[in-house]
Structure 1
Amino acid sequence: MGTINVLIVEDEPLITDLLKQIFKQLSEDHDKDFKLHIALDCDAAIQKIEQAVLGKPFDLALVDVNIPASKDMHILSGEDIAMELRNYFNKIKIIIYTSNNDNYRLNNILHTINPDGFLIKSDIGYKTLVEAIMKVVDSPPYYSNTILNLIRKHISSDFVIDNIDRLLLYELSKGTRTKDLPNFVNLSKGGVEKRKRHLKEVFDVEGKGDKRLIQIAKEKGYI
């Protein structure tokens, strides 16, 4: 059986040690040979990726979103590392996990990275991690409960909104004033007003204020 080359991008020793235990158990229970490579920050992860490009490609990666940025600030988080992995390794399977449960951020990860496994830390324990890894290795995807609920909300909704719509809603939810939105989204003031009118039609809150629009968008899992 071939070796499964695994990259773990994680800066918390307790989680790293837990993952080492899990992979040891999986090797013993399922006759799989996992070779682990550990990166504690973005710089170390990029170095590991460069080495794998010249040597044996990574088959599987487990990436914590919240890891220290690179020193040159070009790679800011685990999301950026996941994108690099997608760019370099066509067949890699990526498990993303995070403590962040902000729907806007989660939506972005689903759309830009399309991870094979996606977990919220508050959803998982030892058993869940074992299940997630084996599911992704053998037959992905695997989503933890919070991610599944977010996806179900979108499936049950006939709303179609794009990345600019989501960013506009997100900024409104943070309290950004309409006149300041062009500083955050690539739209003119007139374009912002047009988008807001369209969103109010989509969410069936025409004639009502931004507060109601934000409330419905939150209920539907978009922010």
Structure 2
Amino acid sequence: MSTKRFHILLVDDHPLITNSYEDTICKLGVEKNVEFQVQIAHSFSNAVNDLKKKKYDLVLLDIHIPGDEATGLISGEDLGSKIRENYKSTKIIISTTFNDHYRIQSIIEQVNPDGFLVKSDITTEELKHAIWRVLTAPPYFSKTVTHSIRQFISNDFVLDKIDRKLLYHLSKGANLQTIADQLGLSRAAIAKRKQLLREVFNVDSNDNMALLEKAREKGFI
């Protein structure tokens, strides 16, 4: 009887984390008598290349990875959305340090992951349970994510992809016209979105730095 095999891609820019996750996955394989073949990507470009080469059963994806202009990906949400669009049978587990309710809700809306773990919740046993659950009977959410879902079950506000790209370009020092050109919108539309973001983040000042500081605090940059 052949051993069941799963292919897993770990996407995180911290080698210590990916090495720890890989060790945990190996232990899970021994416990479940299955074979896990694990590939590690420390950047978006590496992840994109890996996804082109092989079909993965599961991608364990960190959200807070440095943006990559070459791939057009500015956050883990973008890669998650790309996987959802192009690799429909691949399951996704989000792993992040962000625990802000708005940020969690935004990630859920953008990616619709099969699993979602806040890193402060993760233990070895939690990670093993989450991976096996998502592979066999998804979904799986850690306790912080479950609490957030309950908090926002009737809230319909999320930052969309354009809002996140606007914040990204602002953080890089781009002016209003440059951002408008990058996003294919008018200066007026960009200004309106900036004003809405100030209201959402409760920023009274018109200074971009105040808006960016609050966006970073909430985990959107």
Question: TM-score by structure 1 length?
Answer: 0.68
Deviation at 1:110, TM superposition (A): 0.4
Amino acid at match of 1:19: Y
Q: Deviations over 1:47-71 (max 9, x none)?
A: 111112xxxx111010011123225
Gaps of 5+ in 2: 168-178, 197-201, 205-219
Distance 2:142 2:50 in 1: 27
Task: Find the partner of 1:30 among 29, 32, 37.
Answer: 32
Computed over aligned residues only, the root mean square deviation of the Cα atoms, in angstroms, reads 3.5
Task: Percent identity, please.
Answer: 33
| Contact 1:43 1:69 (8 Å CA) reproduced | no
Q: Deviations over 1:130-185 (max 9, x none)?
A: 11111111111111111111111233x4x555757xx7xxx9xxxxxxxxxxx99x
Distance 1:70 1:27 in 2: 33
Q: Deviations over 1:65-90 (max 9, x none)?
A: 11232252611222221112112211
Deviation at 1:37, TM superposition (A): 1.0
* Alignment-derived partner of residue 170 in structure 2: none
| Contact 1:95 1:117 (8 Å CA) reproduced | yes
* Alignment-derived partner of residue 150 in structure 1: 148
| Contact 1:43 1:71 (8 Å CA) reproduced | no
Q: Secondary structure at the match of 2:152?
A: helix
Q: Max radius of gyration: which structure? A: 1
| Contact 2:10 2:59 (8 Å CA) reproduced | yes
Distance 2:158 2:66 in 1: 29
Q: Secondary structure at the match of 2:98?
A: coil
Q: Secondary structure at the match of 1:94?
A: strand
Cα pair distance change 1:163/1:82, threshold 3 Å: closer
Please, which moves more after superposition, 2-11 or 58-67? 2-11
Q: Secondary structure at the match of 1:100?
A: coil
- Number of residues of Structure 1 aligned to a counterpart in Structure 2: 181
Task: Find the partner of 2:94 among 93, 96, 103.
Answer: 96
